[in-house]
Amino acid sequence: MFREITIGQYYPADSLLHRLDPRVKLFGTIIYLISIFVAGDIFSFAFLALFLVMIIRLSKVPFSYMVKGLRGIVLLLVIAGVFNLFMTPGQALVEFGPLTISDVGLKNAVLMTARMIFLIIGTSIMTLTTTPNQLTDGLETSLAPLTIFNVPVHEIALMMSIALRFIPILVEETDKIMKAQMARGADFESKGIVRKAKAMVPLLVPLFVSAFRRASDLALAMEARCYHGGEGRTKMKPLHYEKEDRLSYVVIISYLILLIVIRIVL
């Protein structure tokens, strides 16, 4: 059940998107997020979808692989969609006894579901095409000015990259612990929130214990490899802008402008 999570996973391939500077991709993702909320009608969403399809083709990551990341949030989508559909007041379109679907509700439900899907797929493209180290390098350089305010930018970046590295390991471990406990009669299948919550306790305790042990091992291993903070550190993959990076900035900004124009004009 946990193995399907693709958020935060890197998909190795040789594509334009993989080669782009992480700072460009971070900027692009932020613009893309803004654009999702700018878009509000069928035309702007069509344009957004077109842009997304182009990006997916450019990334060379199979579409089916991305959709897998959606599976985990299907339930969330359905619940949010249903609530929007039935609970929004407005002019009634259909009535089933106490339940009514209003015109505003229908619009909201469709809009919100579409936004969520675009959000998940769009942001996962960034993590799929950027190694966690590149991503944190990008964050580190983009946020570097904050060090003036004593924000530990390097440390935050490192913590993020290590967290991402350990997600698959901890997922596997969770799976293992669950199986070990199911073998001894633990019940993870039964319905009901209280029961499910109770079943989580014997799962979380060993998981936390082992995570702390791993953390202490990792700290030792990092120290043994001369890690002593960000000072005097060189970079294996230093960031510098190429022609395609500058071009991408232009593309991203013109995308947002075009979208706004479509939204206003049509």
Partner 1 sequence: MNIIEAKQLVHEFFRRDEEGNIEGIQVALDKVDLKVEAGQFISILGHNGSGKSTLAKHINALLTPSEGTLYVDGKDTSDGKNELAIRQSAGMVFQNPDNQIIASIVEEDVGFGPENMGVPTDEIWERVERSLKSVGMWKYHAHSPNKLSGGQKQRVAIAGVMAMEPKCIILDEPTAMLDPDGRKEVIKVAHELNEKKGVTVILITHYMEEVVGSDYVYVMDKGKVVMEGDPRNIFSRVEELQSHRMDVPQITLLAHELRNSGLDIPEGILTREELMNVLNLG
Residues engaged in binding partner 1 (CB under 8 A): 10, 12, 131-133, 161-162, 164-165, 168-169, 214, 217-218, 220-228, 232-238
Q: Which is nearer to partner 1, 74 or 236 (CB)?
A: 236
40 three-state secondary structure? coil
CB of 38 to partner 1, least distance (A): 33
95 three-state secondary structure? strand
Backbone angles phi, psi at 227, to 5 degrees: -70, 125
CB of 169 to partner 1, least distance (A): 6
Q: Which is nearer to partner 1, 143 or 160 (CB)?
A: 160
Query: What is the C-alpha to C-alpha distance for residues 165 and 62, in angstroms, rounded to an integer?
Result: 22
Q: Which is nearer to partner 1, 36 or 157 (CB)?
A: 157
Query: What is the C-alpha to C-alpha distance for residues 70 and 60, in angstroms, rounded to an integer?
Result: 18
Q: Which is nearer to partner 1, 187 or 217 (CB)?
A: 217
Query: Is the Cβ–Cβ distance between 93 and 102 less than 8 Å?
Result: yes
Q: Which of 107, 89, 124, 97 is nearest to 40 (CA)?
A: 107
CB of 107 to partner 1, least distance (A): 42
CB of 186 to partner 1, least distance (A): 25
CB of 247 to partner 1, least distance (A): 25
Q: Which is nearer to partner 1, 7 or 260 (CB)?
A: 7
Q: Which of 109, 114, 117, 116 is nearest to 90 (CA)?
A: 109
Between CA 154 and CA 160, with CA 156 as vertex, the angle to 5 degrees is: 115
Q: Which is nearer to partner 1, 10 or 118 (CB)?
A: 10
Q: Where are the beta strands (DSSP E) in 63-202?
A: 92-96, 99-102
Q: Which is nearer to partner 1, 122 or 132 (CB)?
A: 132
CB of 104 to partner 1, least distance (A): 45
CA atoms within a 13 Å half-sphere pointing along the CA-CB vector of 93: 11
CB of 162 to partner 1, least distance (A): 7
- Burial call 17-35: b when 16+ CB within 10 Å, e when fewer: bbebbbbbbbbbbebbeeb
Residue with tokens 């878009």, as numbered in its chain: 39
